[in-house]
Structure 1
Amino acid sequence: MPGSPSWAPAASTREYGRYSDMRTRNGAGHSSLHAAVTALLDLSELTADPRVLAGAVAAKFKDLVQVDRCAVFLRSAADEYRVGSWAGRRDYTSHLRGMVNGHDPFTREILERREPVVIRDSRTDPRVAQHLETTLRCDVRSMVGVPVVFGGQPSAIVYLDDEGTPTRFSDVQLDTAQEFAALCGLLLGRRREDTRSASRPPADSPRNLELATENLGRLAQRGATLGEFASAVAATLHRPVAILDSAWREVATARPPQGLRRPVGRLSDPLVRAHPRVAEALRHVATGETRTLPPLPPVGLDLRCLITPIPLGASPWGQIVVHEAGRPFDEFDRQIAGNAALRIGLSLSTAHLVATTPAELREALVGDLLCGRVANDTLDRRLEIAGIADGPHLVGVFSTLSSKTAADQGRRILDRLAPDGSALSTEIDGQLVGLIPLPPGATDGADTVEDLRGAVDAHTRRGADGEPSVIGVSSPVTGLRHIAKAYREARHVVGTLRRFANPRLPRVVTAGDIGGGLMFVSSADPADMETLVQEQLGELRNTRHARLLATLRTFLRTGTVIRCGHVLGVHENTVRYRLAKIEELTGLSVVGNPDAQMRASLALLVLRLRGDCEWHDPAA
């Protein structure tokens, strides 16, 4: 046929006679056509809803042409064709909702020829190659596309197939389809003006836009949560909505009360964002442009997406993503999404008046958390806005043994510890303070501390510039509401390290490593600490009493004579003899005497910090 591609089948379907493995069916007679049209006319008198009429058309098409399935794609104002109804044993159109036909080779050929066009094998035919993923999901093998024309213009396209079965469509079937399509064109064309959905008022109504904008403005003024913004946009547009921060973390989602319930695809997935077409669109979004993504079923995006950046200073804070469920996008959608983005940006900027970028917003919140300046009733909203996940955390304070700063070293160590950027930091009083999240299920933070030590060692092996950093780490807290307490604890740890200035101590020291004597060693006068050591330990500091000192240390750690002997590998009577000798030399009777145990523990802690004995108990 003139104008057809070289690989296209001839107009005559008799060419398919040589495919003997395909099923052949006969079409309906003219009496059946007449009855079908009469039934549709009767239905059109009862309803003007184009989707109800399209559903009836699909059912009649399926029965007349004698196939398993039929899908009717209706034409939008933008000359795009989207699925409007279906008929078959089961609803297979969930995979078709994101398809935008009208520009692919198969649809173009249907529209150009204005007659049925056959695909004998959808898995190999290049005309449907861009929809291969969808045809495989729907189990389409052979199919025929039929244009529904009214007034010289196509108003719909009908796709017919037998589920999972190659079919040889007969001339009678194709003639029946073409004749019925012509009659349906008259019916659907007559109702064309009624095709606007009644789900919301027309998009070009200034009053509707004004009301929606006023509602978004009220949300911004009262400091609404991002979830409330998402719900308002979803209810206004009758579409699923997601709000993502600058790291593409999904911080709020919403769906309309009566709307699509199946998954719509997630731009928070790095594999989705890595797709070339997605990556290209997101590059424009990063510069502040609004972009529309086409459906990409291979990566799970079955619907078109309208992506609008949320402004905050010189760079977007994040983006609001609207999924095209149902009717096609129009100017009303773009205006509402744009207004919502502006109002969210306004709300974000007032959350902390000095923050003008997403990074500054997070850093400001971290500083407020550490200094206890966040009220409990506003914490959740500020965490949501900053994109910070609540949960168990450690606090680490990065410093040096002198007055030099370790901020740059600290940032590099945190980057190595948490490449995903989950460890946040800020500078307070010249020291870098890091919020280090614990992995899911972790409670004691031991593994995270070991990872931190590994990051410090790796940084040191790379030849770190400047004076080596020391890091004071807090005990873990269950949530960010308690982070100010953890910061005070970590600050006491690093202050203790700087007071004793012992370069032989570990680079990473936790509050648990120091124990209950932390407040004493971080604040007591050095002369008082020396007096304590002399009075409590006396002769035990002599190297010839090293075994006795080790026994005392292990006993204080284990708590009983029996456990102490087990750890040291000696008989319990040997432990009792050594403890008696300690009492003879120092006057300390530590068995069953909590006060003596506390004084001995503090004296031993001072020795450890000064380097007069090993930091870790060798018997541990």
Structure 2
Amino acid sequence: MDPTLDTAEKHRPDSYEQLTNRYELLLGQHQIELRLADRLGSGCEFPEMFAAIAESSDLPMWVFDTRGPVVLRSGDRELDQPDIASICADARAGQLGNRFVIAPAPNGVARRFLVRRLEGSSADDSIGWLVMGEIGRSFRKLDQFLVDRGAVYLARHCTLHHAMHRSIADLTQGFVERLLRRGEHGESTVEDARRIGIAPDSTCIVVAIDDSALSRGIGDIDSLISSLSKLIAGQVFGARTPRGPVLIVDLGAAERIEDSRLIEEVCRGLNSALPDSGVQCGVSSAVEVDAITEGYDEALEVVACLERFTADHTRVVSVRDLGPARILVANGNIAAIRRYVEHTLGPLWSEQGDSDMETLMNTLAQFSRVGHSIRRTAAAMSVHENTVRQRLARVRRLTGLDMLNDPFAQLSVHTALAIIALRNRAHPLWDTRARGLLSRGRVRQKAVEIG
């Protein structure tokens, strides 16, 4: 008989055991697919997606990021994690798909690992690695399927959530822009604020940023929002407008007596989150939701004041810092502003001053900063209360300013000191770290710059 016609051996039916094994494999694959698809569709977080994968096997699993550190691990057992650099050396060159890798574990025992790259939006974009270790039993066919499909679902999770977050960020930015342009769309500020999660009774602070001095600006505004959110107790929303980045800080329902503390907290957070140079930042007063537009105008006025006194370093100044000086600086003639400062401070502003003048200037700054309290001024400067009274008496003899009893004199000094300090990173009226900032040498320097 022609051997090519003998097909009995080739088409012999599978045994019952083979059919059973194949059915169990397909059933296991089907169950894994359903479990992972259901978890992905539930909108879970990344750790929950990984947990669904890890629960499908009794072998240990890890997720590594592209730099090597482990991101997630399965089980409660404290197993030594594999060295991702050694088992994926060729994978970094794009040569590793899904196969066994034999590599030494930290305890010196060589083990096999299943490794799968988590691909991003493109084949060249790598998110990380999914690794399964052959510990406790040998690998089975279903393990390889689990690693393969698990890597696909983890990558899809990252891609989908990134797209969702981007869409939410775009929508939020649109509503922030509407809040800043109240009235153009015929809807109330409160309604637009509610759409992005700001309650009607919230207290908000608006931040206007000028980053035009930087070649690429401050970069991704979402990164700034994320950094600032970790530094302050409140939600942060933002948008990049034609006039520069704008942030709205939602501090929730707060008492008016808390306004000063809230503004200081936001300013400290901005100083930490922003680059050290090239950024000018204006911070509004604490406003209600229906006054967000007015808060934006305040912040822009502060930025306008900063732009009149150029500086390379980053400056964060609030409306509270400047007080009425912002109206004078934003709209006044620079020469007239200098004359105002000279007229207010008199000989304290003179270049002929000595160390006594420096001491008096620092005392004035502290006295204004602590709310015109002799006791708090003495404590801040570590001197006796009578010493503060004597210095303020000398100020009155030299300038005619009755800082203890005349509110107009107090306001005038506050305004003059705010103008002097406009170029400084730390504001001497409100920041204790700036104590001594108004030294005689610095005052003379500012006199030249303002002139």
Q: Residues 610 and 227 (structure 1 numbering): CA distance in 2 closer, same or farther, change over 3 Å?
A: closer
1:601 aligns with: 414
| Identical residues among aligned pairs (%) | 18
Describe the superposition over 1:582-618 as per-residue Cα deviations: whole angstroms up to 9, x where unpaired: 557878654488997577435422331168x997442
Conserved? CA contact 1:317–1:345, under 8 Å: yes
Which residue of the other structure, out of 265, 271, 293, is the alignment partner of 2:80?
A: 265
Q: Does 1:324 align with 2:131?
A: no
Give the match's secondary structure for 1:502: coil
Tell which structure's C-alpha radius of gyration is larger: 1
1:507 aligns with: 313
1:207 aligns with: 27
User: In the aligned structure 1, how far is the partner of 2:245 from the partner of 2:101?
Assistant: 41
Q: Does 1:618 align with 2:436?
A: yes
Deviation at 1:524, TM superposition (A): 8.1
Deviation at 1:332, TM superposition (A): 1.6
1:496 aligns with: 303
Give the match's secondary structure for 1:242: strand
Q: Residues 265 and 519 (structure 1 numbering): CA distance in 2 closer, same or farther, change over 3 Å?
A: farther
Letter in 1 for 2:136: G
Conserved? CA contact 2:365–2:417, under 8 Å: yes
Describe the superposition over 1:108-161 as per-residue Cα deviations: whole angstroms up to 9, x where unpaired: xxxxxxxxxxxxxxxxxxxxxxxxxxxxxxxxxxxxxxxxxxxxxxxxxxxxxx
Q: Residues 398 and 263 (structure 1 numbering): CA distance in 2 closer, same or farther, change over 3 Å?
A: farther
Structure 1: which 5+ runs fail to align?
A: 1-193, 195-200, 256-260, 356-360, 380-395, 419-425, 435-442, 457-467, 475-484
Q: TM-score when scaled to structure 2?
A: 0.53
Deviation at 1:349, TM superposition (A): 2.1
Deviation at 1:313, TM superposition (A): 0.9
Cα RMSD after superposing both structures: 5.7
Conserved? CA contact 1:240–1:323, under 8 Å: yes
Conserved? CA contact 2:117–2:128, under 8 Å: yes
1:347 aligns with: 157
Conserved? CA contact 2:208–2:245, under 8 Å: yes
Conserved? CA contact 2:208–2:299, under 8 Å: no
Q: Residues 322 and 295 (structure 1 numbering): CA distance in 2 closer, same or farther, change over 3 Å?
A: same
Which residue of the other structure, out of 555, 558, 572, is the alignment partner of 2:367?
A: 555
Q: Residues 432 and 247 (structure 1 numbering): CA distance in 2 closer, same or farther, change over 3 Å?
A: farther
Q: Does 1:336 align with 2:165?
A: no
Conserved? CA contact 1:264–1:302, under 8 Å: no
Deviation at 1:507, TM superposition (A): 1.0
User: In the aligned structure 2, how far is the partner of 1:317 from the partner of 1:432?
Assistant: 30
User: How do residues 175-574 of structure 1 correspond to structure 2 at under 5 angstroms?
Assistant: 205-255=25-75, 261-266=76-81, 272-274=83-85, 277-278=86-87, 280-284=89-93, 289-298=97-106, 303-314=111-122, 315-353=125-163, 403-407=212-216, 428-429=240-241, 469-470=278-279, 472=281, 496=303, 499-503=306-310, 505=311, 507-510=313-316, 516-517=320-321, 526-527=330-331, 538-540=343-345, 543-544=349-350, 546-547=357-358, 548-557=360-369, 560-561=373-374, 564=377, 572-573=385-386
Give the match's secondary structure for 1:205: helix
Give the match's secondary structure for 1:306: strand
Describe the superposition over 1:340-362 as per-residue Cα deviations: whole angstroms up to 9, x where unpaired: 2222222222224389xxxxx7x
User: In the aligned structure 2, how far is the partner of 1:282 from the partner of 1:596?
Assistant: 73
Q: Residues 233 and 447 (structure 1 numbering): CA distance in 2 closer, same or farther, change over 3 Å?
A: closer
2:447 aligns with: none
Deviation at 1:298, TM superposition (A): 3.9
User: In the aligned structure 2, how far is the partner of 1:342 from the partner of 1:515?
Assistant: 52
User: In the aligned structure 2, how far is the partner of 1:446 from the partner of 1:308?
Assistant: 44
User: In the aligned structure 2, how far is the partner of 1:303 from the partner of 1:595?
Assistant: 81
Conserved? CA contact 2:325–2:416, under 8 Å: no
Give the match's secondary structure for 2:163: coil
Give the match's secondary structure for 2:420: helix
Deviation at 1:427, TM superposition (A): 9.6
Describe the superposition over 1:376-410 as per-residue Cα deviations: whole angstroms up to 9, x where unpaired: xxx9xxxxxxxxxxxxxxxx99855xx44432797
Deviation at 1:336, TM superposition (A): 1.6
Describe the superposition over 1:479-501 as per-residue Cα deviations: whole angstroms up to 9, x where unpaired: xxxxxx9xx99x95996387334
User: In the aligned structure 1, how far is the partner of 2:26 from the partner of 2:419?
Assistant: 76
User: In the aligned structure 2, how far is the partner of 1:292 from the partner of 1:521?
Assistant: 71
Q: Does 1:575 align with 2:393?
A: no
Describe the superposition over 1:310-346 as per-residue Cα deviations: whole angstroms up to 9, x where unpaired: 2221212222222223222233212122112222222
Letter in 2 for 1:500: E
User: In the aligned structure 2, how far is the partner of 1:494 from the partner of 1:250?
Assistant: 48
2:182 aligns with: none
1:49 aligns with: none
Structure 2: which 5+ runs fail to align?
A: 1-16, 177-192, 198-206, 228-237, 248-264, 284-291, 429-433, 439-451
Conserved? CA contact 1:309–1:320, under 8 Å: yes
Higher relative contact order (CA 8 A, sep 6+): 2
Deviation at 1:553, TM superposition (A): 1.0
Deviation at 1:206, TM superposition (A): 0.9
Q: Residues 311 and 597 (structure 1 numbering): CA distance in 2 closer, same or farther, change over 3 Å?
A: farther
User: In the aligned structure 2, how far is the partner of 1:247 from the partner of 1:433?
Assistant: 34
Deviation at 1:213, TM superposition (A): 0.5
Conserved? CA contact 1:471–1:509, under 8 Å: yes
User: In the aligned structure 1, how far is the partner of 2:81 from the partner of 2:361?
Assistant: 61
